[in-house]
Structures are given as C-alpha cells and as structure tokens.
A = this chain, B = another copy of it.
Amino acid sequence: MTTATGARGTGQATSGRRGAAKVRLDRESIVAAGLELAAASGSATLSVRELGARLGADPTAIYRHFRNKEQLMQALLDELNARSVATVTAPLDDWRARIRQLAAATLDLFADHPAIAVESVVLTTHGPGELDAIELMLDAFARAGLSGDALVRHYALLAGHVLSTAAGIARSRSERGANEDGTSPWFDGPILADPRTHPRIAAFGTQLTELEDRELFMLGVDAIIQSAERAAEASES
C-alpha cells in the first residue's frame, strides 16, 4: 500500500529542484480539487487525506486555509449553490421556470457530488452562492404575487425540500448506484408484508417500488409552486 506517502518522491509538476517540490495552495485551488474529487470518486465521504493526496501536498496543509473540515465543506457546498444559480436562464418573469431550473440543477449537481451534498442537510454556508440562491427564490415568490409571511414560508418550504431531498437522493444513489439511464428508484427493495395486517401495502407495494426519485423530487417542487399560486390568488382578492 503506497497510500499516504505518495507525494514524497514524485517531483511532480512544479519543477521539483531537489525532491520535495512543495506545492503552493490557496482556498480556490483546494475548493477546485475538492469538487473534482467529490465528482470522481462517487463515495459519500471525502477525507482530508484523500484531498491532500490529490493536491500533491500534505493533508494538514489544508488547515492553513480552512479552520475546520466543516468550513471546507461549507466552501464546497457554497460553490455548488453558486453553480446551481448560474444555470438558471429563464427570464425573471417566468418565476415557475426559474424555480424548476434551480431545483433541477441542484439535484443534478448534488447527485454528481454526493460527498458534498450530504453536508447540506444541516449546513448553512453563509457564502455568496447561498445568498444568490435565496435571492432567486425570494424574488420568484415575490413575482408570483406573494408577500409577507406567505412569501418567506413558501421560500423556506422550497429551500428545505430541495436541499434535504436532493441530499437524500445523492446519498442513496452513491450507496446503491443508479440505473444506466440515470434514473433510480425511490424505494430500495421490494416491500413484503402480510396482506392480513397490511392490506394497503399489499395492494400498492408494486407501485411503490416503481416510483422514481427525480420525478418525485420535481413533483414536490410543483406542489410548492401550486401552493404559492393558490396563496397568491387568495391574497389578490
């Protein structure tokens, strides 16, 4: 196993004069490497040592640029948020399309970077990417005709659903793997239950296993959009 030493005798790229060739790091390059690593190895966890090896530097050097692993994960997650916002192309007026685009992009990016997505359940990044995402959603619901409590509540509902559901899908796909066509089931195994005690499960069991996670995810988004529409109608009158 040549696991940890790795960088030692390489002299890799940066003109190693007498063997060591210390690579120079900064937050940007670390974040970039973290995103690549999370995308490359579909693992649901990302270790500091792995990241150090990919950077060609000692793992602990990362702690010169991030206080914690948690802060590092925040930066990675915020970059994912920023990229999600960047994919939204629909005009400001079409608030429904903007919300759907943002949600879909978040799911795709999370599914491609499961190790980062997992952190999103609890983490608030406090970075610029998150701010842009919040602004986008608030603006969308404002253009939908909402205001005050109804607006912030619909935003919170949407944000919660998108982040936690996308994170869950990313995690379960990285452990169970997805189908070759990119789809993946929402339930993992067949559900076996005695029809005497669980008649409903017996009746609907097969339909449950046919549910597809992405479809269900977007269905939830649409449900929130429809709720916003109704709230807007109610406040208009």
Residues of chain A whose beta carbon lies under 8 Å from any beta carbon of chain B: 121-122, 124, 126, 131-132, 134-135, 138-139, 142, 148-149, 151-153, 155-157, 160-161, 164-165, 167-168, 171-172, 175, 186-189, 191, 193, 197-201, 204, 207-208, 211, 216, 219-220, 223-224, 226-227
Contact = CB atoms under 8 A, between A and B. Distances in A.
Contact of A121 (B121, B200, B207): B121
Contacts of A175: 122
A188 B126 CA distance: 10
A95 B38 CA distance: 43
Contacts of A139: 200
Contact of A126 (B164, B189, B200, B226): B189
A126 B192 CA distance: 9
Contacts of A201: 131, 134-135, 138
